């Protein structure tokens, strides 16, 4: 009875109870906006929770599912979950200079994605796999902030792009990054979340479908 009374008293006073499974020592949750809705990202609170079977396979045919290097290209930073969360938090606070991109095709997207990310399949940026050059130009200009000056792309004020796909064995986000680099996109404005959905799910972080 005393415990119930204490709980009610603390609740009325606005005291918040820490989650059993926090994201880090100083981060419990991160609030983001996904398609106009507020979503709270946190880790699964069930300490007996296990990995999503979709990401439990250790071996897929290589190629195409080959282990990716830790560094894709000079100047492109490889980041992990806390950095991704920091970028997502900045976006939710109104920073429109950042875009977190899920580079996977729709068949993979159906399994869920990182809240706050936007889906731009790698095939939309790869002419060899059916990308329309005019749609690519539209992406560069209207989504990424590039400008055409006298027939030449100007990338001086483009957004910082954080790209991810399924994980360290997935080549979809690396394909997008390499394409953007060839087009002249500055390496310093490209960040790669190498762990992707597999590591995100490994940590029990919130996934949205």
Convert the pLDDT of each residue in 53-101 to its tens digit.
999 999 999 999 999 999 999 999 999 999 999 999 999 999 999 999 9
157-186: string of b/e by CB count within 10 Å (b at 16+)?
A: ebbbbbbbbbbebbbbbbbbbbbbbeeebe
Q: Say which CATH topology domain 30-202 has.
A: Oxidized Rhodanese; domain 1 (3.40.250)
Q: How far apart, in whole angstroms, are the C-alpha atoms of residue 164 and residue 142?
A: 21
pLDDT digit string (tens) for the chain, length 209 residues? 444 443 343 344 444 558 999 999 999 999 999 999 999 999 999 999 999 999 999 999 999 999 999 999 999 999 999 999 999 999 999 999 999 999 999 999 999 999 999 999 999 998 777 789 999 999 999 999 999 988 899 999 999 999 999 999 999 999 999 999 999 999 999 999 999 999 999 999 999 99
- Report domain extents, the chain: 30-202
């Amino acid at each position: 009875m005393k415990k119930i009374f204490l709980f009610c008293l603390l609740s009325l006073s606005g005291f918040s109870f820490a989650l059993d499974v926090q994201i880090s020592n100083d981060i419990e949750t991160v609030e983001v906006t996904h398609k106009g809705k507020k979503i709270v990202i946190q880790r699964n609170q069930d300490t007996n929770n296990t990995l999503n079977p979709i990401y439990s396979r250790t071996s897929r045919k290589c190629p195409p599912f080959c282990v990716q290097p830790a560094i894709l290209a000079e100047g492109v930073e490889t980041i992990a979950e806390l950095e991704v969360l920091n970028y997502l938090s900045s976006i939710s606070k109104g920073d429109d200079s950042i875009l977190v991109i899920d580079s996977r095709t729709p068949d993979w997207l159906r399994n869920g994605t990182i809240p706050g990310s936007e889906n731009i399949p790698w095939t939309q940026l790869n002419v060899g796999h059916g990308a329309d050059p005019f749609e690519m130009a539209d992406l560069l200009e209207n989504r990424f902030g590039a400008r055409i000056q006298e027939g030449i792309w100007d990338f001086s004020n483009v957004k910082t792009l954080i790209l991810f796909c399924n994980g360290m064995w997935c080549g979809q986000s690396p394909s997008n990054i390499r394409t953007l680099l060839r087009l002249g996109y500055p390496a310093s404005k490209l960040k790669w979340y190498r762990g992707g959905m597999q590591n995100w799910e490994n940590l029990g972080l919130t996934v949205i479908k």
